[in-house]
A and B are shown apart, each in its own frame.
Chain A
Amino acid sequence: MATRTPGDALAHPIAGSAAKRVPGRGHTRSAVLFLAPFGLLFTAMLLAPIGYAVYQSFFRTRRSGLGLGPSTTVFAGFDNYVTALHDSRFMSSFLRVFTLGIVQVPVMLGLALLLALLLDSRGAVFKKFFRQIYFLPYALPGVIAAIMWSFLYAPSVSPFTAALRHIGLEVNFLSDDLVLASIGNMMTWAWTGFNMLIIYSALQAIPGELTEAAVMDGCSGWRVAWHVKIPAVRPALILTTVFSIIGTAQLFNEPAVLSQVAPTVSPTYTPILATQQSADINNYNYAATQSVILALLTFVLSFGFLKFTQRKGTFA
């Protein structure tokens, strides 16, 4: 999975930029000077590549003769897109990641919410200790974690396989049936604590009077959680869901490492792997097309989710 940066993009506007004065010419100049270094790099490293990818996706390299002669670049219109949409391996990579996300994201966020509620509850002990433990996987680079799990899944060295064999079960975590679930487990292991901390921070911000009033009214702990706490952390849940959608769409590290050891993980297992493979074989226009499609789909899913949750119910 690629790295996700915390910070809420859309869920709330900025408060506190109190500027009542009418803009002066000198101030505009200062603002431009302060913004220029970031703005230039932002344009060069983020905006330009997007434009370049879109541009590239409309061209195609044609080689003359038997592919040995000089190549020419020709305008291809939407041909690359049509090819991609008929590319069964590329399309099944989407389906695979979508299936994984539909199961893994709710499981992970459900767990994160449960753990945050338990940490926030009165009955909890050693809160600080547990919080640190849960957040620990965030400190492990995704690839290093993937390398670690690749050994933990490998039949010859896995302590889990050995333990299961002890009780008479023969399980191969890298088999065709299980490898997707194994990847889901790696993602859950890596990100539950991170999401838990975001939700937990939101829980801490709920005014004490609100929960106490509910308790006075005779609400049980379970009902306080359901009727007061969960609605109050709705923005945090939306935020973590959007991060998870973006992160799942970019699934790369785990399958990239597993593909080295498990033949079940093909070079086109996820959309990013497929895109990278196209680049590896110098089919840059097609790679650009694939990355545009992936970005569009991710954007539609994450933005669609935001819109859907904003329309549905206005409380919280």
Chain B
Amino acid sequence: MTTVTPSAARAAAGPPGRPRTSSLAGRAGVFAVMALFALYTLIPVWWLLVTATKNSGYLFTTNGLWFSHFDLWTNIRDVFQEQDGIFARWLLNSALYSIGGAAVSTTLSAMAGYALAKYPFRGRDLTFNVILGAVLIPDVMFALPLYLMFSQVHLVNTYWAVFLPSVVSPFGVYLSRIYAGASVPDELIEAARLDGAGEARIFWRVAMPIMSPALVTIFLFQFVSIWNNYLLPLLMLNSDELQPVTVGLANWREGVNQGIPYNITITGAFLSVIPLIVAFLVLQRFWRSGLTAGSVK
């Protein structure tokens, strides 16, 4: 945790009366605070990286924040061999839930958002407000009763139990509506109509390409939120083979007392984080544009 004195913050934006320059001390103060918080953020991740390279035995005897005996490859092999190689299955499940769920939810959100932005009809505002209201209701409110409902129609413990709830994204509809309203010109739609294009064709061929930056953002947010989901699959799935990697690893963590080695869980956690960090770094500008659209107006 960082603390900051008022003087450091004052220095941060430069001394009074000299708007164009800021003092060296001020810059140093700003840098110190920012670096301190960066350390706070990085140390746990650094520990995860370092520990993933260690054999179980060295975990207890060596400095947690520095490397010793580099056993990363052995650890990775052990992770993929534990329980007959179920870890690969978990990764595949996570990818399936996340990519499939995000793709479907993005498409549905785009259609709904476009309709709400471009077709005037009675009850439009009411529809939109109901969808928005859903953002304010805690997830558990849906997750538990959904479990009860799914168990009555025998959907519990199937891929569908996790997939179906994941494809509904009220936030996606919200973003689509804003973006369609602001970026798809009415004149363009009108012109396409005059050329004889049907409504579906206009949506797929005219509106969708224009909306694509917003759609990438929706896809990404939904992808991460499905990949990160824990409560829903935990409730819905019994069998190990259907679990996403989050639930699987949490089970391994619990199993440490029953003989699952520490290094398996830690290296597994490390491996499961890599795809998201890569996606996040590569597609970074889309995150920012999504957050900006959501907060600034």
Spell out A's residues near B (CB within 8 Å).
2-3, 5-10, 12, 14-19, 21-23, 27-28, 30-35, 37-39, 41-42, 44-46, 48-50, 52-53, 56, 107, 111, 114-115, 117-119, 121-126, 130, 132-152, 156-159, 162, 185, 188-189, 192-193, 197-198, 201-202, 204-205, 212, 215-216, 218-222, 224-225, 235-236, 239, 242, 246, 249-250, 252-253, 256-257, 260-261, 272, 275-276, 279, 284, 287-288, 291-292, 294-295, 298-299, 302-303
Contact = CB atoms under 8 A, between A and B. Distances in A.
A262 to B, nearest CB: 12
B296 interface: yes
A294 B140 CA distance: 9
Contacts of B135: 5, 7, 9
B34 A272 contact: no
Contacts, number: 385
A221 B145 contact: no
Contacts of A6: 171, 221, 290-291, 294-295
Nearest to A4: B225
Interface stretch (B15-23, B68-76, B79-87): B15-23
A205 B22 CA distance: 22
> Taking chain B's interface residues, is the majority helix, strand, or loop, or is none over half, making it mixed?
helix
Nearest to A240: B295
A279 B249 CA distance: 22
B14 A122 contact: yes
B105 to A, nearest CB: 9
Contacts of B279: 139
Contacts of B288: 197, 201
Contacts of B42: 133, 136
Contacts of A139: 224, 273, 276-277, 279-280
A137 B41 contact: yes
Nearest to A214: B19
Contacts of A147: 249-250, 253, 265, 269
Chain B residues touching A, range: 35 or more
B263 to A, nearest CB: 11
Contacts of B41: 133-134, 136-137, 189, 193
B177 A14 contact: yes
Interface of B: 1-2, 4, 6, 9-17, 19, 22, 26-27, 29-31, 33-34, 37-38, 40-42, 44-45, 47-48, 51, 59-60, 63-65, 108-109, 111-112, 114-122, 124, 127-128, 131-142, 144-149, 164-165, 167-171, 173-175, 177-178, 181-182, 186, 199, 203, 221, 224-225, 227-231, 235, 246-247, 249-250, 253-254, 256, 262, 265-266, 269, 272-273, 276-277, 279-281, 284, 287-288, 290-297
A33 B127 CA distance: 14
Interface centre among B51, B165, B296 (most CB of A within 10 A): B296
A45 to B, nearest CB: 5
Contact of B297 (A12, A39, A148, A299): A12
Contacts of B149: 48-49, 52
A144 B269 contact: yes
Contacts of A143: 228, 230, 246-247, 249-250
Given A15-B297, A198-B295, A294-B138, 15 more contacts: A5-B171, A9-B132, A23-B120, A28-B122, A31-B119, A38-B108, A41-B167, A121-B14, A121-B22, A126-B34, A146-B250, A147-B250, A198-B291, A253-B231, A288-B145
B108 A41 contact: yes
Contacts of A159: 47, 63-65
A18 B118 CA distance: 8
3 residue pairs, one from A and one from B, having the closest CB atoms: A221-B13, A159-B64, A31-B119
Contacts of B40: 189
26 contacts: A2-B138, A3-B224, A7-B175, A8-B294, A10-B132, A15-B297, A23-B122, A30-B115, A30-B119, A35-B127, A37-B112, A38-B173, A42-B131, A53-B141, A118-B12, A121-B13, A123-B14, A124-B30, A139-B280, A148-B47, A149-B44, A152-B44, A221-B13, A257-B253, A260-B253, A298-B137
A15 B292 CA distance: 15
Interface-central residue, A12, A52, A118, A193, by most chain B CB under 10 Å: A118
Q: Which residue among A31, A39, A132, A261 has the maximum number of chain B CB atoms within 10 Å of its CB?
A: A31
B148 A288 contact: yes
B64 A157 contact: yes
A110 B145 CA distance: 36
Contacts of B276: 139-141
Nearest to A120: B13
B234 to A, nearest CB: 8
B121 A157 contact: no
